Amino acid sequence: MNGLSKQTPNAAIWIVLLTMPFWMNAIGGYTELATHVVVLGLAAMALNFLLGFTGVLSFGHAAYFGLGAYGAAMTIKYLVPSTPLAIVVGVLVGTVAGAIIGALIVKLRGVYFAMVTIAFAQVFFFITFRWNAVTGGDDGLTGWHRQAVNLGFTTLDLYGNGKTFYYFVLAVFALAAAVMALLLRSPFGRTLIAIRENERRARFLGIPVERHIWLSFVISCAFASLAGALYALLNNFIDPRALYWTQSGNFVIMAVLGGMRSFWGPLIGAAIFVVLQDYLSSHTENWMSFIGLFFVLIVLFFPRGILGMLRRKVAS
């Protein structure tokens, strides 16, 4: 019975994701909004790999999200007009940057770690903001768009067909989520949870804590850069705001809203955040005030997030 209860939320989430383009219009949404939910859900889950399962807070994940986006966009614009290659290059750029920065800050903890991640993120933000000749500066990188993908037996029209692009993104998301789940269920993932629960005890057991935190940071950056590459392809445009520290804050809000210590919580948090943002921003310029109030209420009354609240109701 316990195994069945664990499988039910997974099945429900995949049914919602698979059918979202067909019922999104009925509730006032659109296919691109559904794609936006999946992309930012992956970004929030990437952050949660570090925050929720390792216990380390990063306020600079927008850097790797943005680097992945710029890597993908610049590949199509300046190198080869290929969507798969753009994704690969975007992930490589963000992951390499995460590996280098992670090695520099891995011994820091708490607020010091969080503040240094913000500092590095702002460095990348100002580089993209000032390097007009390459990145487009504040105007963003334009003059490119996602390309069709030739599978041999068929060609996916990613540019002209919104639903096709949604299911392409969903397939990439499914692969990323499967890899993430396998990692978290492996001995490596159990070690990360042990570090989160009691770092001192894990160190006494002989676990190389810094090495595991660095690996967790790099893996988290890899998934964040993948989300960034998909984000750029979704918009056919990218600007420095994708690297700004407020974007990192949004990822944290999504993870906390849905439930930090749950696998699917950040995806649910991202869905709530994106849909609320889209609805409220079309009615008022002060939409962030309402989201901020909603976030405060969730933290005060449901500290385990929306998914934690739902699980408690089902259990009772």
Q: CA 252, CA 175: separation in Å to the nearest integer?
A: 23
CB-CB contact of 306 with 272 (8 Å): yes
pLDDT band at 8 (very low <50, low <70, confident <90, very high): low
Is the pLDDT reported for residue 3 higher than 50?
no
Mean pLDDT, range 280-292, rounded to an integer: 86
Q: Which residues contact 314 (CB under 8 A, 6 or more apart)?
A: 5
What residue type is assigned to position 217 of the chain? F
Is the pLDDT reported for residue 156 higher than 60?
yes
Q: By mean pLDDT, which of 21-25, 83-87, 171-175, 179-183 is the weakest?
A: 21-25
pLDDT band at 2 (very low <50, low <70, confident <90, very high): very low
Name which residue leads in pLDDT, 35 or 299.
Answer: 35
Is the pLDDT reported for residue 288 higher than 90?
no
Q: CA 176, CA 174: separation in Å to the nearest integer?
A: 5
Predicted pLDDT at 1: 40
Mean pLDDT, range 185-200, rounded to an integer: 96
Tokens of 223: 């998934």
Across the strands, what pairs with 155?
150
Q: Express each pLDDT in 34-50 by its tens digit.
A: 999 999 999 999 999 99
Is the pLDDT reported for residue 244 higher than 90?
yes
Q: CA 74, CA 68: separation in Å to the nearest integer?
A: 10
Residue entry with tokens 């540019």: 159
Q: What is the DSSP secondary structure assignment for residue 143, as one 8-state letter?
A: S
Is the pLDDT reported for residue 159 higher than 70?
yes
Q: Express each pLDDT in 253-269 by its tens digit.
A: 999 999 988 999 999 99
pLDDT band at 303 (very low <50, low <70, confident <90, very high): confident
First to last CA, the chain: 15
Is the pLDDT reported for residue 313 higher than 80?
no
C-alpha closest to that of 251 among 270, 276, 226, 272: 270
Predicted pLDDT at 28: 78
Q: By mean pLDDT, which of 5-14, 52-61, 96-105, 202-211 is the weakest?
A: 5-14
Mean pLDDT, range 189-214, rounded to an integer: 95
- Give, in order, the Cα–Cα distances in Å from 207 to each of 97, 182, 187, 190, 202: 25, 20, 12, 12, 6
Strands 149-150 and 155-156, how do they pair? antiparallel
Residue 85 dihedral angles phi and psi, to the nearest 5°: -65, -40
Predicted pLDDT at 6: 52
